[in-house]
């Protein structure tokens, strides 16, 4: 059995996948499986992956599903993965040649893994520049929430997860007609009960595509309001400060307007705080609509 599964949810990204594939061929440590979750592609992705499976340069697994959005690809991957560790590398990203080896080495050096959920490492860009800031060197373990909120670390980080730990938590909800539930929810929930080992090794090189999830967040607020409402209600369980909670309630109000269901904002939350945030949520909703119209 291989040590880690690199999984890639993809939708009509045939033109980008070869770069990721080449980076996997070039890994100095081949102790991994590449699992491709095809989220309903119609661009010949299936034929391309079939060719790579025949080449046998990398241990490739291919799974097709009807289009449902990134989070549904993660749901399927977590059901199928059999290796001890897993990491998501998006179709527009790739891995430095030593990434798998660094992950496995770091994991094998952990003496007591009983309360360790995985590793938090770095992303960089194509020029080698770290995305955001590094993790303070004096920090050994903790949560993603802690490094962002307590230590003011910035930028996307790469999360390597223990597969058995992931299965202790609920799948991302899937709402009819919506294509996104924020993926950070899982890391937030896990980090409340487990630690992650911090690492300043680079595990992924990222390139944000025009129209990709990182570049279209306002439209996603409009198109997946129930998914974002679920994420915000989950986040309220972990945010400590009034300021953070108030910001979440403001976004929750806006999501309820996009969903055309104001009750969505008040179910399962503090109704007084929700009422207090209500006028600010209306203003945020108008602002988002204007930004979308002007973009």
State which H helix or E strand residue 287 sits in: helix 271-294
CB atoms within 10 A of CB 131: 18
133: how many CB neighbours lie within 10 A of its CB? 14
Cα–Cα distance between 158 and 176 in angstroms, integer?
A: 29
Reported confidence tier of residue 275, pLDDT bands at 50, 70, 90:
very high
**How many Å apart are CA 80 and CA 21, to the nearest integer?**
20
The 10s digit of each residue's pLDDT in 183-209 is 999 999 999 999 999 999 999 999 876
Looking at residue 208, its pLDDT comes to 73
Quick check: 210 pLDDT over 60? no
* pLDDT, tens digit, 9 for 90 and up, residues 32-65: 999 999 999 999 999 999 999 999 999 999 999 9
pLDDT of residue 81: 98
Q: Is the pTM of this model over 0.85?
A: yes
Q: What is the DSSP string of 104-166?
A: HHHHHT-S--TTEEEEEEEEE-TTSPBSS-PPPTT--EE-HHHHHHTS---S-EEEEEEHHHH
List of domains in the chain: 4-214 (3.90.550.10), 216-294 (no CATH)
pLDDT at position 214: 47
pLDDT at position 291 is: 93
249, 269 in Cβ contact below 8 A? yes
Contact of 69 with 175, CB cutoff 8 Å = no
User: Coil, helix or strand for 282?
Assistant: helix
Summary mean pLDDT of the chain: 95
What is the three-state SS of 46-106? HHHHHHHHHHCCCCEEEEEECCCCHHHHHHHHHHHCCCCEEEECCCCCECCCCHHHHHHHH
Taking the C-alpha atoms of residue 178 and residue 226, their distance in angstroms, rounded to an integer, is 8
Contacts of 194 (CB under 8 A, 6+ apart): 115, 116, 117, 165
**How many other C-beta atoms lie within 10 A of the C-beta of residue 10?**
23
Compute the distance between CA of residue 281 and CA of residue 197 in angstroms, rounded to an integer. 37
Sheet holding 141-142, edge to edge: 60-65, 32-39, 4-10, 85-88, 157-162, 116-124, 195-205, 141-142
Per the CB < 8 A criterion, the answer to whether 196 and 118 are in contact is yes
What's the pLDDT tens digit per position in 229-258? 999 999 999 888 899 999 999 999 999 999
User: Measured between alpha carbons, how far is 161 from 84 in angstroms, rounded to an integer?
Assistant: 9
Mean per-residue pLDDT for 157-176?
Answer: 97
- For residue 215, pLDDT beyond 80: no
């Amino acid at each position: 059995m291989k040590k880690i599964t690199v999984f890639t949810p993809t939708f009509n990204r045939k033109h980008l996948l070869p770069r990721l594939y080449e980076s996997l061929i070039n890994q100095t440590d081949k102790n991994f499986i590449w699992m491709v979750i095809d989220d309903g592609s119609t661009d010949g992705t299936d034929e391309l992956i079939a060719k790579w499976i025949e080449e046998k340069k990398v241990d490739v697994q291919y799974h097709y599903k009807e289009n449902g959005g990134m989070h549904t690809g993660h749901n399927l991957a977590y059901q199928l993965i059999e290796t001890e560790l897993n990491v998501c590398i998006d179709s527009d990203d790739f891995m430095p040649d030593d990434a798998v080896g660094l992950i496995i080495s770091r994991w094998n050096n952990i003496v007591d893994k009983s309360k360790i959920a995985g590793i938090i490492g770095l992303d960089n860009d194509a020029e080698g520049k770290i995305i955001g800031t590094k993790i303070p060197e004096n920090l050994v373990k903790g949560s993603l929430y802690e490094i962002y909120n307590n230590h003011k670390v910035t930028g996307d980080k790469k999360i390597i997860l223990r597969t058995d730990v992931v299965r202790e938590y609920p799948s991302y909800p899937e709402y009819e007609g919506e294509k996104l539930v924020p993926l950070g929810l899982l890391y937030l929930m896990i980090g409340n009960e487990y630690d992650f080992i911090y690492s300043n090794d680079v595990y992924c090189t990222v390139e944000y595509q025009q129209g990709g999830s990182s570049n279209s967040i306002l439209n996603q607020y409009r198109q997946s309001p129930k998914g974002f409402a679920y994420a915000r209600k989950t986040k309220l369980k972990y945010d400590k400060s009034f300021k953070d909670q108030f910001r979440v309630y403001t976004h929750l109000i806006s999501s309820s307007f996009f969903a055309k269901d104001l009750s969505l904002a008040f179910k399962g939350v503090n109704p007084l705080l929700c009422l207090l945030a209500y006028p600010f949520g209306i203003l945020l909703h108008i602002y988002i609509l204007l930004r979308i119209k002007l973009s």
